[in-house]
C-alpha cells in the first residue's frame, strides 16, 4: 500500500543488496509503503574510493529517474551518500542518505558518536561530510577496520575487527554511540552492540525508518 | 502488535493531546506498534517558561515509570524536550524528544533550519538546546509568533503569524527548512508549507516516525 | 552590610555545605555582602544523576523564593547548575551557577580546560552543558575519578584519584587548567594544584567571587 | 589589606583613568585588597588601532614589572587586552584582561552577547579575539558608535549613539546582553541599561571583581 | 619552464576559458611553469546545478589522466570544485580547487568573507562546502546575483548586480573581503573592487598563484 | 622586475635569514618580483615567547615603513605572525604571515593539519591563533620538539625529533598534513616528508608563493 520506498544500493553487489533487504524487512508493514531494494548494475562491486562515489552518481540518477513516477521516497544506501543532493534536486520525492540518517539517529542515542569505517582512505571523506553536516561538535572519532566491502562477508574476521575498533572508539575516544560506516555491515549490528556495550546504529535501517515515516505522513496528506 | 510507542504530552491540555493524536495517526499500521498519546494531569495547560519545563519532569518520569513495562519507546511531546535525559537514564526503552527529532529531521531537508517559536522567552532556551545538540552551524534563526500555547487554537491569527514569521526566516535569515517550535502547531503544517514554499517539519511526527521505526526493528531483533 | 549572597547547595549534605562555607570564607569582608550557605533538606545526599539534577529544581526554586526579598544574588552550588535558568526567570536577582562560573573562570587561566568529574555518567551531562555554553573549542577533556559524592570525604583515595585524573588531563589531553567538577571537592584544590602543576579552579569560589562583585556594584548603583 | 590589584589603563589619559577609578570604587572593601588604578605615561591618549594596541605592550610590561613585587593581581584596562598573554608569561600574579572578563561575565547574563565598539576598525580586531576565546557561538554582533576615545566625554552624543547601537544589537541581532567595548564608557552603563532594557557589562568592573575575588582567595591560601 | 599547470574549466564554454586564460596571464613567467587553460568538451555550457557539478567529474578525471604525465599541477576552475578529491586520489600531482583557494586566500584579506554567487540554488551547495572546509566561523554571507553562467557576458547588467550584492554583503552582513563565486566573473574584479571598496578575490587567480608556487618549489626539489 | 616581496625575518639571526633565503629561492623568476629577505637587527636571536612576539612588532613596523615605497608585498617570517594586523593597517601593500599562509596551504593538502612546534610554551599561543583564524575544526594537534630556535641547527637531533613528533601527529592524532611551526625548519622539509609519508608545509614558502602571485597580478592590473 502506498508509494514504495526505493532503496538504491549504488554498488552492483547482490550480496550487499540482499543483506540490506534483510536488514530493513522489519520496517515493512501490511498497510504501509513497500520497501524495494535494488542494486546498480553499473556500479562497482563496492564503493571504496572518492572516484567510486562520484562515478555512481550519474547511473544512480538515471535509475532514480526511471523509478520517480511511483516512488514515495528514495534511500541512497551507501555511507558516502553519493548523489544525495543531485537526486534531491532532480526528484520531487524526499531523498534520504544513509550516512546522514545514520549519524543523525546516533545523535539521539549518545552525546559523542564514533564511526566504524572500512578503509583508512574513507576517513577524510567522512570528515568532510560531517563538517558539511555541521556535526563535528558531537564527533568522537572515525576508525577503519582495514577491510574492503568484499571482505565484509568473512564473518569472524570482520566482527573481530569491528569489536576491536568499537572498543577503541568507546574507551580511547569517548564515543557513547557508534555508527556503522558501510551499508554492508548490517548483519553484525546485534553482536557488535552486545560486545561493545553501547548503541550501534545500522545506517540503512535508520534511513529507511525515516523514509517510511515520511511516506506514511505524506500519503495521508495527499490522500 | 508490538510494544506501544507512548507519546507523552507533558501539559494537561486535552486539546493539544487530541491534535497530537491526529497528527501521528498516519504512522499507525495494522501490524506495527500502537501509538498511545496521553497528557500529564499534573502538567500546566501549556509549557511556556523554563519553570514549566523543569516542573513537569518529575511527574513525567513517574508517568513513564508506570508505562515502562510494556512500552516499546517513549516520545516526549514538548518542544523543550523536558526530562529527555532523565527518562533515558530511568528507562530501558528508547526515548525520543520532539525538539531533537524535529531539528535532526530538518537537517535532512535543508541546509539551514529556522524555528517558529511561540514566545520570545522561548528563544534563549532553544538556543541553549541547539548548542547542546551541536547544530548551530546549520541554524538560521528562531523567531516567535508572540502567542502562548492556549492562543494557538485561534486559527486565523495563528496561521497568519506563522506565515509572517516563516517568510522572515526564509527571506531575511536564509532558512530553507522550518521546524515548528511547539507540539501544538501540527494542524497548520500543510497550509504553512504551501504559503512559505519550503519544507515544514512537525516535530511530533518526526519523533514518532523515528520511534515506530525503532520499535519495529527492536521487536524483530528480540522476537 | 549589603544584601547577602545566598549559596544554595541543592543536596541535603551538611558536610558538603560546611565545606562550601569554608571554601568561600575568604570572600567575606567586613563591609561587603554576607555570604550565606545553606543546604536543601529536600535534596538527595548527593546529586549524581540527571534525575537528581532535575529533581532538586522545584524545591530549590521554592527555597530561593523564600529568600528573594533580601537577597543580593544567588549561587547554585552544584556542578550541574540545576535550575539555573528557571531561577533566573523567577528571581529579580542575579543568579550564578558554579559550573558556568567555574568554566568561565578557567578560560582566564589556560587555553584548554579539563574537568575532573565524579562519575562516568556525569560526562555526557557536562558535555551537553559545555555545548550549550558554546565553549567546546576550549575544552580538552572531562574524566571521572569514579567516586560518588559521599565518597569524596575519604581523603587519601579521593586526592590520589584526582591527581591521577588531573595528570592525564594535562599530559594526554593537553589541558592547561582544570575545573573541579563537583561542589564537594574544595578541600583538595591546593594539594591538587601543587601535585599537577597547573591552575585548578574550585567552582563555588569562582561563582561566589563573581556574585560578591556583582552585589557590591549593584548596591552602589542603587544606594 | 592584602596585596593590591593594579589596574593598568594602558593609555595616557587621566580622564579615562579617573573614570575607571570611580567605576571600580564599590569593589574596594575595608579588609580586602587595595585597588590601584594607573595610566601609562608612554601610552597614546586613546588606544584605537592595532598599532596602538601593540605599541603599549612593552611599556605596560615594564610598568607591571615595577609593580610585581607587592601585586596581588593585574588588570589590563583596555578592551583589546594588550599584552595579556605576555604579562601572564612575565608575572607570577594572575592577570585579567577587561575584554576577556567582560565577555565571560556577559555569558552569565544572556545567551547572545553584543558589543558596543568605538570605531568600525575595532571590529575585526574584536572578532579575531572572540575567535581566539572560542566564544563565537554565543556572539550576536559588534557594532561601532563611530566615536574615538577622546570623544567619549561628550556625554549626550555618546550616550545617544550607544543607545542607538544597543537597540540595534538587541532588536536586529538578537543580543540579550551587551558588553561595553571600551574602558572609557563606564559612566554610561546605568543609563544605557535603562534605555535598552537588557543587562550591560562594564568590562573593567567585571575584571576587577574577578581579580579581587582571586586575591582574597589567594591571600587566604598563603596566609 | 618546468611542468605545466593545467587549468581545467569543466564546462564547455570557450568564452569562459578565454576569460580564465586572460585572468591568469600575469602569473606566467619566462622561466616558470606554463599555464595551460582548457575546457571540457563533454561539460555543459555552464555548471549551475549539483547535477552539473557531479556530471563533469568523470570526464574531468579522464581528461586529467591524459594530462597526468607531464603535469606539474592541476587547477579545477569551477567554483564548486567538482571532483577535487577524486582527482587528488587519482593523480600524483597537486590539485587545486578554485573555491577552496579563493576562500582561503580571502581569509588573508579580511576577517569575514562574503561570496557572490550566480544563482540562489548555488548557495546551499556552497554552504555545505564551507562547512566541509571548516571555515564557517569566518563566513559573512553568500548572496546570488540571479544570473546564469551564460548571462555573465552581459557586462552592464552583471556588474551592476555584482556591485549591489557586494554592497549588501559589506554593509548588511559585515563582510570585509569578497570572493567571486564563479570562474566566469574575472573580468569584473577590478571594477567591483573599486565600487565596493573592499578586496575582491578572483578564485582562479588565487588557485593558479598557489599552483605556480607549488610547481616552482617542487621542480626545485626534484631537479 | 616588478615591486619586490620583502620577507622580514623578525629575529636577528643571519642563519635563519639565510635559510629562508634558500628556501624561497625557487620562487624567484627572471621576470617576476624580486624576493628580498632581511632580518631585524633589533629582534632577539629567536622568537620563542609571547614577549618576544610582542617585542618585535614596533621595530618590524618601522623597518616595513622604510621599505614601503617600492614594496610589492610583505611577508612576516615568524610562525607567530607578529604584527601582522598592525602592518596591514599601516601599509598600502598586501601583508602575508607565514603561520596564516602555512596553515591555509595545509588545508589544501589534507583534512586535518598537525603542527610541529619548537617549545611547549608555543602551543597555547598557536591555539589562540588558530581559534582567531577559525580553523580549529580542521586541527589535529600541535606538539613541540622541545628545542629552541638556536638548537634547530643541530641537524640530526632536530630531524630526529621532528620525525618522532610528525609520526605521533599522524598516527595518534590523525593528521594527514603537517605544518612546520617555525621559520627556521625549512631545511628539514624534504627529509621529514619522506620519513613521515604525508605532505609537509614549509610556511615561509607557502607565504612567499602567495605573495609573488599577488604582486604579479597586482602589477598587471596597475601596469
Chain-centroid distance of CA B216 in Å reads 21
Residues C92/C74, Cβ–Cβ less than 8 Å: no
Answer yes or no: is pLDDT of F103 > 80. yes
* CB spacing of E210 vs F209 below 8 angstroms: yes
Q: For residue D152, what is the domain's CATH number?
A: 3.40.50.12500
Mean local confidence (pLDDT), B104-133: 97
Q: What share of chain E is helix, strand, coil (3-state, %, to 5)?
A: 55, 15, 30
| Residue of B114, B126, B127 to mutate, interface with D, max D Cβ within 10 Å | B127
Q: Is residue B14 domain-shared with residue B32, that is, in the same domain?
A: yes
* Chains with ≥3 CB–CB distances under 8 Å to F: A, C, D, E
Measured between CB atoms, which of F100, F101, F205 is closest to E217? F205
Residues of F in contact with A136 (CB under 8 A): 137
H or E stretch including F37?
strand F35-39
C-alpha cell at position D108 = 552569565
Domain enclosing residue C166, as ranges: 100-202
* Number of CB pairs, chain A paired with chain B, less than 8 A apart: 100
Residues of A in contact with F137 (CB under 8 A): 131, 136
* CB spacing of A124 vs F137 below 8 angstroms: no
- Cα nearest neighbour of A130 on chain F: F137
Q: Is residue D150 domain-shared with residue D187, that is, in the same domain?
A: yes
Residues with Cβ within 8 Å of A136's Cβ and at least 6 positions away in sequence, in order, are: A130, B134, E134, F137
Burial of C70 (0-12, 13-18, 19+ CB in 10 A): exposed
Interface predicted TM-score (ipTM) of this complex, two decimals: 0.96
The total of other beta-carbon atoms located within 10 Å of residue B161's CB is 18
* CB spacing of D141 vs E174 below 8 angstroms: yes
Calculate how close chain E gets to B176, using CA atoms only, in Å. Answer: 9
Residues A8/A60, Cβ–Cβ less than 8 Å: yes
* CB spacing of C137 vs F131 below 8 angstroms: yes
* Chains with ≥3 CB–CB distances under 8 Å to E: A, B, D, F
The model's pLDDT over F67-97, given as tens digits with 9 standing for 90+, comes to 999 999 999 999 999 999 999 999 999 999 9
H or E stretch including C75?
strand C73-76
Q: What is the mean pLDDT of each run of 10 residues along chain C (223 residues)?
A: 90 92 96 96 93 97 97 97 98 98 98 97 97 98 92 91 98 97 94 98 98 93 60
* CB spacing of A131 vs F112 below 8 angstroms: no
The model's pLDDT over F147-183, given as tens digits with 9 standing for 90+, comes to 988 888 899 999 999 999 999 999 999 999 999 999 9
Answer yes or no: is pLDDT of B219 > 90. no
C-alpha cell at position E56 = 563533469
The model's pLDDT over D40-59, given as tens digits with 9 standing for 90+, comes to 999 999 999 999 999 999 99
Q: Is residue E12 domain-shared with residue E38, that is, in the same domain?
A: yes
- Confidence (pLDDT) at B221: 67
- Confidence (pLDDT) at A153: 83
Q: How far, in Å, CA of D11 to CA of D37, rounded?
A: 12
H-helix segments, B57-196: 57-67, 84-90, 98-106, 122-133, 155-171, 189-196
| Residue of A127, A131, A136, A142 to mutate, interface with F, max F Cβ within 10 Å | A127
- Confidence (pLDDT) at E148: 86
Q: Tens place of pLDDT for every residue, chain D, 223 residues?
A: 579 999 999 999 898 899 999 999 999 999 999 999 999 999 999 999 999 999 999 999 999 999 999 999 999 999 999 999 999 999 999 999 999 999 999 999 999 999 999 999 999 999 999 999 999 999 999 999 999 888 888 899 999 999 999 999 999 999 999 999 999 899 999 999 999 999 999 999 999 999 999 999 998 866 5
Q: Which of D65, D56, D8, D61 is nearest to F58 (CA)?
A: D56
Measured between CB atoms, which of F27, F101, F107 is closest to E217? F27
Q: Is residue B129 domain-shared with residue B167, that is, in the same domain?
A: yes
Residues B89/B161, Cβ–Cβ less than 8 Å: no
Q: Does A127 touch chain F (CB under 8 A)?
A: yes
What percent of chain B clears pLDDT 70, i.e. is strictly above it? 98
Calculate how close chain B gets to D111, using CA atoms only, in Å. Answer: 6
Q: Is residue D217 domain-shared with residue D135, that is, in the same domain?
A: no
List residues bridging with B36 in a β-sheet: B6
List residues bridging with C178 in a β-sheet: C114, C200
- Cα nearest neighbour of D189 on chain C: C221
Q: Is residue D189 domain-shared with residue D209, that is, in the same domain?
A: no
Instruction: State whether residue A143 is helix, strand or coil.
Output: strand
Q: Is residue D191 domain-shared with residue D112, that is, in the same domain?
A: yes
Q: Does B127 touch chain D (CB under 8 A)?
A: yes
* Chains with ≥3 CB–CB distances under 8 Å to A: B, C, E, F
Q: For residue E91, what is the domain's CATH number?
A: 3.40.50.1860
Residues with Cβ within 8 Å of A138's Cβ and at least 6 positions away in sequence, in order, are: A107, A111, A112, A113, B133, B134
DSSP state of E68: G
Calculate how close chain C gets to B110, using CA atoms only, in Å. Answer: 23
C-alpha cell at position A129 = 561530510
Q: Is residue B88 domain-shared with residue B169, that is, in the same domain?
A: no
- Cα nearest neighbour of B127 on chain D: D111
Residues of F in contact with A123 (CB under 8 A): 111, 174
Q: Is residue B47 domain-shared with residue B125, that is, in the same domain?
A: no
C-alpha cell at position D102 = 567582560
- Confidence (pLDDT) at A174: 96
Q: Is residue F214 domain-shared with residue F120, that is, in the same domain?
A: no
Q: Is residue B88 domain-shared with residue B105, that is, in the same domain?
A: no
- Helices and strands of chain E, counted as H and E runs: 9, 8
Sign of the torsion angle spanned by Cα atoms E55, E87, E182, E167: positive
* CB spacing of E137 vs D123 below 8 angstroms: no
DSSP state of C44: -
Q: Does C36 touch chain B (CB under 8 A)?
A: no
Q: How far, in Å, CA of F182 to CA of F10, rounded?
A: 12
Q: Is residue D123 domain-shared with residue D195, that is, in the same domain?
A: yes
The model's pLDDT over A4-44, given as tens digits with 9 standing for 90+, comes to 999 999 999 898 899 999 999 999 999 999 999 999 999 99
- Confidence (pLDDT) at D62: 98
Domain count within chain D: 2
Measured between CB atoms, which of B49, B61, B131 is closest to C132? B131
Spell out a b/e string for E132-151, using b for 16 or more CB atoms within 10 Å of the CB, else e: bbbbbbbbbbbbbbebebeb
Question: In terms of pLDDT, which residue wins out, F220 or B112?
Answer: B112
Q: How far, in Å, CA of D102 to CA of D115, rounded?
A: 10
Q: What share of chain F is helix, strand, coil (3-state, %, to 5)?
A: 55, 15, 30
Residues in chain E where the model's pLDDT stays below 70: 1, 221-223
The pair phi, psi for residue E34, each rounded to 5°, is: -65, 155
Residue window 138-197, chain C: list those with CB within 8 Å of chain A: 141
- Confidence (pLDDT) at E104: 98
* CB spacing of C54 vs B49 below 8 angstroms: no
Mean local confidence (pLDDT), A187-202: 97
pTM of the model: 0.97
Amino acid at each position: 500500500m502506498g508509494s514504495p520506498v526505493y532503496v538504491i544500493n549504488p554498488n552492483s553487489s547482490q550480496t550487499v543488496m540482499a543483506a540490506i533487504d534483510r536488514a530493513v524487512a522489519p520496517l515493512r508493514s501490511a498497510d504501509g509503503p513497500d520497501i524495494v531494494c535494488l542494486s546498480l548494475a553499473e556500479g562497482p562491486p563496492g564503493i571504496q574510493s572518492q572516484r567510486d562515489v562520484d562515478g555512481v552518481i550519474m547511473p544512480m540518477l538515471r535509475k532514480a529517474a526511471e523509478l520517480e513516477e511511483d516512488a514515495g521516497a528514495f534511500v541512497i544506501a551507501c555511507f558516502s551518500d553519493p548523489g544525495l543532493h543531485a537526486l534531491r534536486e532532480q526528484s520531487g520525492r524526499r531523498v534520504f542518505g544513509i550516512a546522514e540518517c545514520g549519524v543523525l539517529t546516533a545523535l539521539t542515542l549518545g552525546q559523542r558518536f564514533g564511526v566504524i569505517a572500512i578503509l583508512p582512505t574513507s576517513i577524510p571523506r567522512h570528515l568532510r561530510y560531517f563538517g558539511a553536516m555541521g556535526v563535528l561538535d558531537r564527533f568522537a572519532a572515525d576508525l577503519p577496520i582495514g577491510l574492503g566491502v568484499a571482505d565484509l562477508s568473512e564473518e569472524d574476521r570482520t566482527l573481530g575487527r569491528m569489536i576491536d575498533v568499537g572498543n577503541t572508539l568507546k574507551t580511547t575516544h569517548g564515543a557513547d554511540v557508534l555508527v556503522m560506516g558501510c551499508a554492508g555491515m548490517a548483519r553484525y549490528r546485534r553482536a557488535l552492540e552486545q560486545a561493545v556495550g553501547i548503541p550501534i546504529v545500522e545506517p540503512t535501517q535508520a534511513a529507511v525508518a525515516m523514509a517510511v515515516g515520511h511516506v506514511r505522513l505524506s500519503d495521508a496528506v495527499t490522500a
